[in-house]
Structure 1
Amino acid sequence: MKPISISAFASISPLGKTSEEVWNSYLDNEHRITKRDFKNFSEWTANISDEDKKHIEDIRNSDNKYKNLDDTVLFAIYASRKAMLDANWKEGDDFGINIGSSRGATALFEKYHQEFLQTGISSTLSSPTTTLGNISSWIAHDLKSSGPEISHSITCSTALHSLLNGVAWIQAGMCDKFLVGGSEAPLTDFTIAQMKALKVYSKETEGNPCKAFDLEKTKNTMVLGEGAAVVCLEKDISERTIAKVEGIGYATEVLKHNTSVTADAECFQKSMKMACKHINLEDVDAVVMHAPGTIKGDSSEVNAIKKVFGEKTPFLTTNKWKIGHTFGASGLLNLELGLLMLQHQKAIEVPFAEKQNQPKQLNKILVNAVGFGGNAVSVLISK
């Protein structure tokens, strides 16, 4: 691989809206999951704070054209503005944009569909504001970029696939800079009901609702969260470089079940080996896992890590016990955790997981994500 650097990253999530807020949130042992009332039920969710939602509303009200946009777009605009500012990119610069989402404009689509069922008439704006492509196109409009704009959905590995795509464009010499990431606002009645129908949603009544990376749990404990995260990729290394993208890996399993991967997550084994093929495996200091909080999802990924790394397993962590599963945005929120751990030289522990020793130093961190259908991605970042 040609050297590709990460020159900025930004997010908005239940952890906060700045890198400082996010890191401070990781330093405590409190989750950001609360009970939320829906039309027909009450369920655990991880929400962006009311204070931070005001910033989203400010964007919505800043332009008449933004008033009819879904939160997925507005979350992504907020994070993208911040990342572009931090990277010192300018309006009109020739940079690409690839922001994906698993569900896209979920709340808006459900609203328009309900109106159609009641009236038999579709709203004028129902199509352009609910297509997946409208996320990156509105960001391009907002940032006034002149490069390519791409949106896609590859379920829960969407955001890391966006990074792969940005790397590919830069490697091919088709672009020098790419803004990549994912955005998700899935906290709607129908989306929660779908996860409940799959019998993966948390029914915990005490303690932490999401037991991600608790390998002793006997029930599925997945919880949904919302948010967006992006990073700025640039060709070569410069004084702005925060971290390098040292390796990328991807793999798809042959489906044996609609939702789950194999017991040893063969897709993860392949993606991790590919991402680390140019280094000694012993040099990986930590792995930020996908770990969705389900029995099979957590255990299969840990099994895959042990298959790849053997007895010298790196430090393992995840953030879903804290912020829930943000579907298409989750991979980049995982990457954000990895970047913050590199910056602060501290590995974030999962409080109820088996105790691990803190790494003496953090130089290389592997970040994982996988989605329905066994679409695994692994990204190796380094100082």
Structure 2
Amino acid sequence: MASVSALGSDFEEIWQRYTDGEHYLRVKDFEHFSAWVAALPAADLQRIEALAQSDAKYKDLDKTVLYALYVARKAMRNAGWNAGDDFGVNMGSSRGATALFEKYHREYLATNTSSTLSSPTTTLGNISSWLAHDLQTKGPEISHSITCSTGLHSLLNGVAWLRSGMSSKFMIGASEASLTGFTVAQMQALKVYARNSDRYPCKAFDMDKSRNTMVLGEGASVWCLEAGETSNALAVIEGVGYATEVLKHNISISANADCFQRSMKMALGSLPVTAVDAIVMHAPGTLKGDSSEINAIQKIFGKHCPFLTTNKWKLGHTFATSGLLSMELAVMMLQQQQVISVPFAAEQQPVKELNRVLVNAVGFGGNAVSVLLRKK
């Protein structure tokens, strides 16, 4: 695996920042307002800019593509894969090339014309096709968008390809570069965005909060999946689950998150609920989002509730990438045998041993995915 987020891109640094009890959100000034965001560190942005300048074809690409290229190269090296290997690529993004799209749209409104590259650089398939080009893979390339569960849907697709026997290796991931004024304004219009100046602006998994506190982040995460158990595996995907609710509202899910109940049950399969030691929740920091997921967990696990945590209070809600960054946290907890607590959440019973961690993600319209990871 490899990632870049507000926590950085180095595994040791990321884990250290998970354990320090601090958040990595900051106030960003947009054209007409200021808002909390979780932006990439300056050092990573410099390296990404160097990547963009390294090839004349890359200079006109959107940040979503560049972020994905930056981490895909790392993931490939970490997995021991080679250029030219026959593996598939499935990259997702909720917003896609939003910065470029907004730039070209402003250009059109001002001049009534559009640049030559405005279409090819803003299509959704732009991400996977450039990864396949850069990594020289001959496998299939797939791009998709399923709101905030997009990243885990990429994993579902990769698992399906591996189980089908059509591929033995599959690269999956998601990328989001959505910290534009227009995107933040859209979230503010939904009345879900953080407006406080507390020590912790995003109160994800604070069940006593009285207002919505979502904060947007940016980042990319790429994973190399292989069939079977390899010697260099980080963890085992033991179960996957998915579900979609019938829409009752454009943005919300049911009070008891029926989609999460079904996806978690599917991911568990025949395992008892006591087999799960921790859950990395979706928990976006909204009143409805956090409470509905907690209700779903209580419905499934009852008195055997695992340790609960989330990372959005620390690195923001990264839309499509969020589920995969949650999965990264789950893998790190399994490897380090240490849970990461949310500092302002209610105290929970300590965990003696971590063998299995469940990861949840959901998007607008109740598109839920749950992934059960087992320690290697």
Does TM, normalized by the shorter one, top 0.5?
A: yes
Q: What residue in structure 2 maps to residue 329 of structure 1?
A: 321
Q: What residue in structure 1 maps to residue 212 of structure 2?
A: 220
Aligned AA (2:13): E
Alpha-carbon deviation of 1:233?
A: 0.4
Q: Distance in 1 between matches of 2:108 and 2:98?
A: 15
Q: What residue in structure 2 maps to residue 361 of structure 1?
A: 353
Q: Secondary structure of the residue that 1:257 maps to in structure 2?
A: coil
Q: What residue in structure 2 maps to residue 196 of structure 1?
A: 188
Q: Which digits, 9 at most, give the CA deviation of each residue in 1:29-62, with x for residues without a partner?
A: 1100000000010000000011110011011001
1:57 counterpart (39, 46, 49): 49
Aligned AA (1:277): G
TM-score by length of 1: 0.97
Aligned AA (2:76): M
Aligned AA (2:117): L
Q: Distance in 1 between matches of 2:252 and 2:363?
A: 9
Q: Distance in 2 between matches of 1:29 and 1:204?
A: 19
Alpha-carbon deviation of 1:119?
A: 0.3
Q: Distance in 2 between matches of 1:292 and 1:206?
A: 17
Aligned AA (1:305): I
Q: Secondary structure of the residue that 1:255 maps to in structure 2?
A: coil
Q: What residue in structure 1 maps to residue 237 of structure 2?
A: 245
Q: Distance in 1 between matches of 2:243 and 2:13?
A: 34
Match status 1:281 vs 2:240: no
Structure 2 residues not aligned, in runs of 5+ = none
Q: Distance in 1 between matches of 2:117 and 2:128?
A: 17
Q: What residue in structure 2 maps to residue 381 of structure 1?
A: 373
Q: What residue in structure 2 maps to residue 351 of structure 1?
A: 343
Q: Secondary structure of the residue that 1:248 maps to in structure 2?
A: strand
1:73 counterpart (35, 56, 65): 65
Match status 1:184 vs 2:176: yes
Aligned AA (2:197): T
**What percentage of residue pairs aligned between the two structures are identical?**
64
Q: Secondary structure of the residue that 2:46 maps to in structure 1?
A: helix
| Pairs within 5 Å for 1:1-383 | 9-383=1-375
Aligned AA (2:334): L
Alpha-carbon deviation of 1:73?
A: 0.5
Aligned AA (1:371): G
Q: Secondary structure of the residue that 1:85 maps to in structure 2?
A: helix
Q: Distance in 1 between matches of 2:29 and 2:274?
A: 47
Structure 1 residues not aligned, in runs of 5+ = 1-8
Q: Secondary structure of the residue that 1:64 maps to in structure 2?
A: coil
Q: Distance in 2 between matches of 1:168 and 1:278?
A: 19
Aligned AA (1:233): L
Q: Distance in 2 between matches of 1:28 and 1:75?
A: 25
Q: Secondary structure of the residue that 2:182 maps to in structure 1?
A: helix
Aligned AA (2:132): A
Alpha-carbon deviation of 1:358?
A: 2.2
Q: Distance in 1 between matches of 2:146 and 2:34?
A: 29
Q: Distance in 2 between matches of 1:223 and 1:285?
A: 28
Alpha-carbon deviation of 1:277?
A: 1.2
Aligned AA (2:328): E
Alpha-carbon deviation of 1:280?
A: 1.4
Q: Distance in 2 between matches of 1:80 and 1:52?
A: 14
Aligned AA (2:366): G
Q: Secondary structure of the residue that 2:130 maps to in structure 1?
A: helix
Aligned AA (2:160): A
Q: Which digits, 9 at most, give the CA deviation of each residue in 1:207-235, with x for residues without a partner?
A: 21100000000000000000001111001
